Structure 1
């Protein structure tokens, strides 16, 4: 094939980031479709099992072996990430899709704070301001769920969504610590293996009968998450961290739209306000807004 038909490298990242964000939203939608039919532990276990099946084919086909690095850090990545996903699925089981995804998408700001605490990464005024905005926005989203229904169920779902963001941020910090010791597929292996070990006891404790009506949504959860994760990881090799941060915050938007259109879920004005505040807080705290506002200097000819 002639080289003129090859897409330039600089165009490969952004379309894939958008594609991955849509798939992460589809995963959330499929998870919500399983609410009441399967427990969050069952859904999380299914997602991780499908990921392990993918990796069982991936490593032999690519003729590669896992590269673990420091095993205790590699294991921590999976434990934190697995716990984050389980809590995220608890939130999706008890809340509407948009608010649950939004609360989970606050993980970049918590990753920045945890990175400062444990990796000595620099803390800026923008980071602290972003943390305040994100906390206020998340509080508005949580309050909107209580305003709709004062039941304890919604309260637990909102707190689970917040906790999933904190643990997700911790998992990302561990990945940073391992960045020179392992590869993306091995990190994904830790995520799936320890995630399955974490969620399986919850699945067995609240096991619900499996029927053919849950097969398609469960496959949707697993397949969309695997493809989205691989596409997102690949795209980050072609774009800046700024673009990655923007894409992370686009997932709640896609999720809210899909839920409103396909599930007819109501959109609370208070929740939307909180979502906007959260997104601004994350983008501000992680430096995305500043980098977008400041023109990048061009190299001298």
Structure 2
């Protein structure tokens, strides 16, 4: 029997996380198009519902069912992740996109702290430096999109943005703990199921009319979320929570690029500087520069 195709090991960690970052940026772009037209609860519920529909097709096609592992951890992944997504959408709805993404982009810091406390994951010097660089770079990119008069006052939007970062960091650590006893689809099932249960009451409370003009962006939010989240969860079986946090800090940079190209947002020198700092942090923190040097040396030899 011919063995089925398997993704090479060198592509399973950081490269997959970079790919998922691109998709998460596309999702953020679609979410931005829905801001003010649908409530945060509606957008979140649509995202999770499309994910559940995908899984309803996925499991029969694959000929298997969910593999839950430790049920309490499986439930916690969905609760933390679902609440983080809803709060993130609240932050976008209550604030401008720049400050909301800037606050949410701090989740790797909380993931590093929680991963060290509960998973005993070691934080090396290069990894910590890469995390700091990418956080600073992402912050510069998002700060460049703000108007001169914008300030980060601690209103509901700011609290929601910070809450989404804390819960997002906790969710990533739980994913890391689960990935060796379950699969990406089962983890994604928890995310969609508990996320829908969490966001649906808010959607019903603040229901806004649905029209064909919101159908395409909402479908974009759901579909890009499915592929990005499945890729993200699978990749975290091959990296630590902190290393994953370093790679996924590219999401704000990709969001800025898509906004500049597709929405005509201004390209400032500060944004370009932040993008370069962010990419340097990813290359340094994940050790990609060292691997490229070693590959080049082997090629030269």
Change (3 A) 1:42 1:152: farther
Number of aligned residues: 293
Residue in 1 that maps onto 2:66 = 66
Change (3 A) 1:136 1:226: closer
Residue in 2 that maps onto 1:93 = 93
Correspondence list, 1:114-129, <5 A: 114-124=114-124
Correspondence list, 1:253-292, <5 A: 253-266=253-266, 288=287
Gaps of 5+ in 1: none
Residue in 2 that maps onto 1:173 = 173
Give the superposition deviation at 1:213.
Answer: 1.2
Change (3 A) 1:240 1:88: same
The one-character-per-residue Cα deviations of 1:93-128 (angstroms, maximum 9, x if unpaired) are: 345556544543443332121111222333445566
- Within 1, Cα distance between the matches of 2:198 and 2:208? 18
Give the superposition deviation at 1:43.
Answer: 0.2
Structure-1-length-normalised TM-score: 0.76
- Within 1, Cα distance between the matches of 2:149 and 2:95? 10
The one-character-per-residue Cα deviations of 1:162-208 (angstroms, maximum 9, x if unpaired) are: 43222111111112222332211110010001111111122122221
Give the superposition deviation at 1:293.
Answer: 8.6
Change (3 A) 1:140 1:223: closer
Correspondence list, 1:1-301, <5 A: 9=8, 19-97=19-97, 100-124=100-124, 148-150=148-150, 156-233=156-233, 247-266=247-266, 288=287, 295=294
Conservation of the 8 A alpha-carbon contact between 2:24 and 2:251: yes
Task: Point out the more displaced range, 228-237 or 166-175.
Answer: 228-237
Indicate the RMSD between aligned Cα atoms, in angstroms.
4.0
- Within 1, Cα distance between the matches of 2:36 and 2:111? 32
- Within 1, Cα distance between the matches of 2:173 and 2:94? 28
- Within 2, Cα distance between the matches of 1:159 and 1:173? 22
